[in-house]
Amino acid sequence: MVTDYKILGDAIALPFSGRSAPSRFMKSAMTERLSSWDQHDPTNRGIPSDELVRVYEEWGKGGWGIVVSGNLIVDTMNLEAPGNMIIHRSQQKQDELESQMRRLIAGSKAGGALFVAQLSHGGRQVTSAIQPNPVSASDVKLDDRMGMSFAKPTPLTEEGIRETVENFAYAAQKLHEWGADGVQLHAAHGYLLAQFLAPSTNQRTDKYGGSVANRARIIYEIFDAIKKRVNDPKFVLAIKINSVEFQKGGFSTEESAEVCAELEKIGVDVLELSGGTYEELAFGHRRESTKKREAFFLEFSDVIVKQLQKSTVWTTGGFRTAKAMVQAVQDGATQGIGLARPATQDFDIPRKLYTGKLDAAPQGLIPEDDFGMTNLIAGTQIRQVGKGLQPFDKSDESAVGEFKATAGKFMEAGAAAAKDGVVNAGYPDHAGSPYVPIDTAQ
283 binds ligand FMN (CB under 6 A): yes
Alpha-carbon distance of 202 to 30, in angstroms, equals 26
186 binds ligand FMN (CB under 6 A): yes
From the list 390, 326, 403, 337, the residue with the least C-alpha distance to 364 is 403
- Alpha carbons 122 and 75: distance in angstroms, whole number: 10
Binders in 379-398 for ligand FMN, by CB under 6 A:
379
Q: In angstroms, what is the minimal distance from the CB of 120 to ligand FMN?
A: 7
**Should residue 378 be labelled a site residue for ligand FMN when binding is judged by CB under 6 A?**
yes
The distance from CA 232 to its chain's CA centroid, rounded to whole angstroms, is 24
Nearer to ligand FMN, 155 or 305 (CB): 305
Asked if 30 interacts with ligand FMN (CB under 6 A), we say: yes
Q: Are 46 and 73 in contact (CB under 8 A)?
A: yes
Q: How far is the CB of 30 from ligand FMN (least distance, A)?
A: 4
**Which of 53, 194 has the CB closer to ligand FMN?**
194
Binding flag, residue 240, ligand FMN (CB under 6 A): yes
- In the bound state with ligand FMN, the residue whose beta carbon lies nearer, of 223 and 319, is 319
Report the alpha-carbon distance of residue 56 to residue 70 in Å, rounded. 11
C-alpha distances in angstroms, 407 versus 55, 83, 387, 393, 430? 21, 18, 18, 15, 9
What DSSP designation does 307 have? T
Using the rule CB under 6 A, give the single segment among 184-192, 231-239, 243-251, 410-418 that binds ligand FMN.
184-192
Q: Which is nearer to ligand FMN, 21 or 378 (CB)?
A: 378
| Interhelix angle 371-386/397-419, nearest 10 degrees | 90
Q: Can you spell out the DSSP letters for 409-425?
A: HHHHHHHHHHHTT----
- Cβ proximity to ligand FMN: between 155 and 344 the closer is 344
Residue 81 engages ligand FMN in binding (rule: CB under 6 A): no
> At closest approach, how far in Å is the CB of 228 from ligand FMN?
25
Could you say which of 189, 229, 383, 394 contacts ligand FMN (CB under 6 A)? 189
**Which parts of 2-21 interact with ligand FMN (CB under 6 A)?**
none
Tell me the helix, strand and coil percentages in the chain, rounded to 5.
Answer: 35, 15, 50
Residues 6+ apart with CB under 8 A from 234: 17, 18, 19
Instruction: Specify the stretch interacting with ligand FMN by CB under 6 A; choose among 25-33, 158-166, 324-332, 384-392.
Output: 25-33
240: nearest Cα among 176, 314, 341, 340: 314
345 touches ligand FMN (CB under 6 A): no
Report the residue number, 35 or 155, with the smaller CB distance to ligand FMN.
35
Cα-to-chain-centroid distance, residue 275? 12
Quick one: 80 or 302, whose CB is closer to ligand FMN? 80
Q: Which helix H or strand E contains 193, and what residues bound it?
A: helix 192-197
Q: Is the dihedral of CA 260, 303, 22, 378 positive or negative?
A: positive
| Cβ pair 75, 122 in contact under 8 A | no
Cβ-based nearer residue to ligand FMN, 155 or 432: 432
Residue 17 DSSP symbol: T
Q: Assess 298 for contact with ligand FMN (CB under 6 A).
A: no
Question: 412 to each of 44, 154, 409, 419, how far by Cα in Å?
Answer: 26, 32, 5, 11
Task: Assess 341 for contact with ligand FMN (CB under 6 A).
Answer: yes
Q: Segment 102-141, which members bind ligand FMN (CB under 6 A)?
A: 118
Q: Of 255, 281, 268, which Cα lies nearest the Cα of 310? A: 268
**Contact yes or no for 66/43 (Cβ under 8 A):** no
d(CA 68, CA 260): 19
Q: Specify the residue, 116 or 156, whose C-beta has the smaller distance to ligand FMN.
A: 116
* Contact map string, positions 309 to 328, toward ligand FMN, x by CB under 6 A: -------xxx----------
Please give the size of the binding site for ligand FMN, defined by CB under 6 A. 23
Which of 17, 23, 28, 384 forms a contact with ligand FMN (CB under 6 A)?
28
Tell me whether residue 120 or residue 202 sits nearer to ligand FMN (CB atom). Answer: 120
Candidates 18-26, 132-140, 181-189, 211-219; binding stretch for ligand FMN (CB under 6 A)? 181-189
User: Per-residue x/- marks for ligand FMN, 194-233, CB under 6 A?
Assistant: ----------------------------------------
Which parts of this chain interact with ligand FMN (CB under 6 A)?
28-31, 70-71, 80, 118, 186, 188-189, 240, 274, 283, 316-318, 339-341, 375, 378-379
